[in-house]
Homo-oligomer: A and B are copies of this chain.
Amino acid sequence: MAARAGIVVTGTEVLTGRVTDRNGPWLAERLRLLGVDVGQVVVVGDRREDLAAALRHLAGGHDLVITTGGLGPTADDLTAEVVAEVQGAVLRLDPDLEARIAARVASLTAARGWATAPEAMARGVRKQAMVPEGAHVLEPVGTAPGLVVPSAQGPAVLVLPGPPGELRPMWEDAVRDTLVLAALAGREELRQRTVRIWGPPEAELAEVLRTHEAERGLEGLEVTTCLREGELEVVTRFAPAAQGAYDRLEAALVAAFADAVYSTDGRTVDEVVFDLFAGTGATLATAESCTAGLLAGRVADLPGSSAHLVGGFVTYANEAKTALVGVPPRLLEEHGAVSPEVAEAMARGARERLGTTWGVGVTGVAGPGGGTPEKPVGLVHVCASSADRTEHRVLRLGGSREAVRRRTVVECLHLLRVLLDEGR
């Protein structure tokens, strides 16, 4: 059995969805790379009793418990105090740490030109310098130190700050800490491979998996599948001994789904498209109506995308479609803004105005208003065009405005992927 860690994410803002937790998933992936399995992530609000209950729950069945958040200077930041109590340790002021935090706060205050009263700052610093007896301190990246708090009865608790920009750099120190290393002594390599498929229904994937299991077995493989925005993901975790079984599974998926399998090496569709552009000299321009920049913005998520992304147009209003990418007003009158003709004119216009190899045009009804019986909410026309190839997609999407817009971006990326792949 591999070493197992449990994670407690604190913060009423996370529990109520005002903030999306980015630490739990990040830690889960880091732990996996270390060969540590994550069993459960518990999200609790800034309440003493819920945090204590979560810590006690995870103490069973886990070798290390990690908390994130609740280390700030405000009174609702309770983590150090509650962890100390659950681990049976007394909190004491660490004067050296207090001085180091005070220096950090002073330099931040100076840099940002804040005029906070010194007593207010000092009180916050003192709160953040309280350390449970017997705990190891991890140097602060922002103003909050991390802590590793051992216990006579249960697993050690690793206390990390909430802001990802503080937690991530501190992780490097955390995994070198002797108490953390001792807790994770039982870790063993756990491999993870992902097969990504675009197109077939989930039930078809289920059947292929069932058949493979019956014929060849899935011994030693933990297979999970997930359907998200039309993309099917098959993620398999296994110990090195099961590599052969995994190779057979992957071969079976590739045999069953052929070209629909677009990635077996962990790359997302964004990365596949990036790599298809790389080194070819091909370039891209976009013209977006309902997605209003989200496609270009997503292409630019990957550093280095300036090698192919030249620019784009947000042609939200009809007059912008005409003014920016030269969609003839006649086309808009005859076919309406949401039509294959206009999507194509947008794609061509973007390509021609920026002199790129490819242009992509997107126009649709994202909703919730603006739908008609002929052109309902969720109808989107996409076109990708180069000098010698023009390809259309008509999408009929369900769900919210946000879902329609996000899914449209994914569809555009897959259309580009298919066309770039053909052209290789």
Contact across chains for B74 and A235 when beta carbons are under 8 A apart: no
Residue of chain B at shortest CB distance from A368? B303
Q: Does A403 contact B (CB under 8 A)?
A: yes
In the bound complex, how far is the Cα of B317 from the Cα of A286, in angstroms?
13
A153 in the interface, Cβ–Cβ < 8 Å?
Answer: no
Number of interface residues of A (CB under 8 A): 114
A186 contacts B by Cβ under 8 Å: no
Copies in the complex: 2
- The reply to whether A226 and B13 form a contact with Cβ atoms under 8 Å apart is yes
Spot the interface stretch: A20-28, A83-91, A239-247, A382-390: A20-28
B43 touches A40 (CB 8 A): yes
| Known contacts A311-B317, A315-B311; A76/B15 CB under 8 A | no
Check: A296 CB closer than 8 A to any chain B CB: yes
Q: Nearest residue in B to A56 (C-beta to C-beta)?
A: B57
A317 touching B310 in the complex, CB below 8 Å, given contacts A29-B16, A300-B293: yes
A367 cross-chain contacts in B, Cβ below 8 A: 303
The residues of B that contact A29 with a CB separation of less than 8 Å are: 16-17
Given the known inter-chain contacts A224-B45, A297-B294, please indicate yes or no for A25 contacting B17, CB distance below 8 A.
yes
**A201 x B109 contact (CB < 8 A):** yes
Which residues of A141-184 are within 8 A (CB) of B?
A: 163-165
Chain B hits for A42, CB < 8 A: 40-43
Inter-subunit contact A18/B226 (CB<8 Å): yes
Judging by beta carbons under 8 Å apart, are A43 and B72 in contact? no
Q: How far is the CA of A323 from the CA of B353 in the complex (A)?
A: 8
Q: Which of B24, B40, B235, B293 contacts A297 (CB 8 A)?
A: B293
Is A93 at the interface (CB under 8 A from chain B)?
no
Residues of chain B with a CB closer than 8 A to A320's CB: 310-311, 354
- CB A40 to nearest CB in B, in angstroms, measures 5
CB distance from A407 to the nearest CB of B (A): 10
> Quick check: A13 and B224 within 8 Å, CB to CB?
yes
- Judge whether A116 is part of the interface by a CB distance below 8 angstroms: yes
B300 pairs with A76, CB closer than 8 A: no
Q: In the assembled complex, how far is the CB of residue A371 from the closest CB belonging to chain B, in whole angstroms?
A: 11
Among candidates B121, B202, B312, residue contacting A72 with C-beta atoms closer than 8 Å: B202
In the complex, the answer to whether A311 meets B300 with C-beta atoms within 8 Å is no
Encoded as 1 (CB less than 8 Å from any B CB) or 0, chain A from 95 to 119 comes to 0000000000100010010101101
- Report the minimal beta-carbon distance from A362 to chain B, rounded to whole angstroms: 11
Interface membership of A252, Cβ < 8 A:
no
B235 touches A12 (CB 8 A): yes
A386-402 interface mask toward B, CB cutoff 8 Å, 1 = contact, 0 = none? 00000000000011111
A82 to chain B, nearest CB (A): 14
Cβ of A292 within 8 Å of any chain B Cβ, yes or no, is yes
Are B303 and A369 neighbours in the complex by a CB distance under 8 Å?
Answer: yes
Q: Do B207 and A13 touch (CB < 8 A)? A: no
Given contact pairs A13-B233, A317-B306, A401-B303, A324 touches B311 in the complex (Cβ within 8 A): yes
Nearest-neighbour CB distance to chain B for A239, whole angstroms, equals: 15
Contact B314 A314 (CB under 8 A): yes
Known pairs A75-B206, A311-B320, A313-B313; A40 contacts B20 (CB<8 A): no
Would you list 6 pairs from A and B whose C-beta atoms are within 8 A, ordered by A residue?
A39-B50, A112-B201, A292-B300, A294-B297, A303-B367, A310-B317
